[in-house]
Amino acid sequence: MIKDSELKALVTLLEDEDEEIVTHVEQKLMEIGTGVIPLLEAEWETNFNPMIQRRIEDLIHTLQFELFQERLVDWKENRADNLLEGLWLVATYQYPDLDIDELKQNVHQLYTEVWREFSEELMPFDQVRIMNSVLFNKFKFRANTKNFHSPANSMINAVLESKKGNPISLCSVYLLIAKKMEIPVYGVNLPNLFILKYESEGTEFYINAFNKGLIFSRDDIDNYLDHLNIPPQDLFYEPCSHLDIVLRSLRNLIVSFEKLGDYHKSDEIKIVLKRLDDQYTGFE
């Protein structure tokens, strides 16, 4: 690991007027890898040269972006069953210092409130009714229709804090609680909408978390698809994977950043999506 004194010497060279030297220094710091980020952050705080600060900021972002990709690939390959970790990793794009333990505590608080209302004898519709009551009435989780395309709607920490989100983020909160409650609820990928499915021992119905947990049937999905002139496909009715949820969250982020005109960030997310999704064609 690089010593502080060596790092300071390298950072000082970022001020050099020779672009070749600056490029060499930046490459050297990149080769050291993501472990140098804390040292760079400390150096940024104590260095008051605007040019060096800007170059340090660019280096930190590049290194954090590389770390962001590495973590998501590792999650996909080794822990894709852990939805909260996947959503946490998505959020670290905007909040690189976000603590997953804080998210776990927030989810546990919601779970505790639902658990208090539950009993073993509850029928499926009653289980969902209580989930809906706690999440949408007590905690006031709701659709963020006013700022539908805000990147915050795809950040699990922001959704848990503001209680506002888009269809997939609200469904994700619902899923996290349902899993801890051992309720058989799963995500379903519909066109233009993400929903939930309750599926257990011959009982199945659907839940729209974007509409305060509205319960509906397979026929309603048929009507929805017919209205959109989209032919039915199995994936519109059956549970999807946690990876599918993360991929769709990333796609939502691309749209969000493009709506804001932040094409640098949207292009970065496309790079990540291409690494995670073999079928993603990349830059449209």
Q: Crossing angle of helices 83-91/50-78, nearest 10°?
A: 160
Task: Give the mean pLDDT of 4-27.
Answer: 75
pLDDT number for residue 205: 98
Q: What is the pLDDT of residue 1?
A: 61
Q: What is the pLDDT of residues 31-49, one digit of tens each?
A: 777 777 887 888 788 777 7
For the stretch 148-157, pLDDT in tens is: 999 999 999 9
Taking CA atoms, 56 is separated from 50, 93, 199, 269, in Å, by: 10, 18, 51, 22
Question: Which residue type is seen at 96?
Answer: P
Q: How many Cβ atoms from other residues are within 10 Å of residue 135's Cβ? A: 23
pTM: 0.87
Quick one: which of 223, 253, 238 has its CA closest to 188? 238
Q: How sure is the predictor about 284, in pLDDT bands with cuts at 50, 70 and 90?
A: very low
Can you read off the two tokens belonging to residue 176? 């996290």
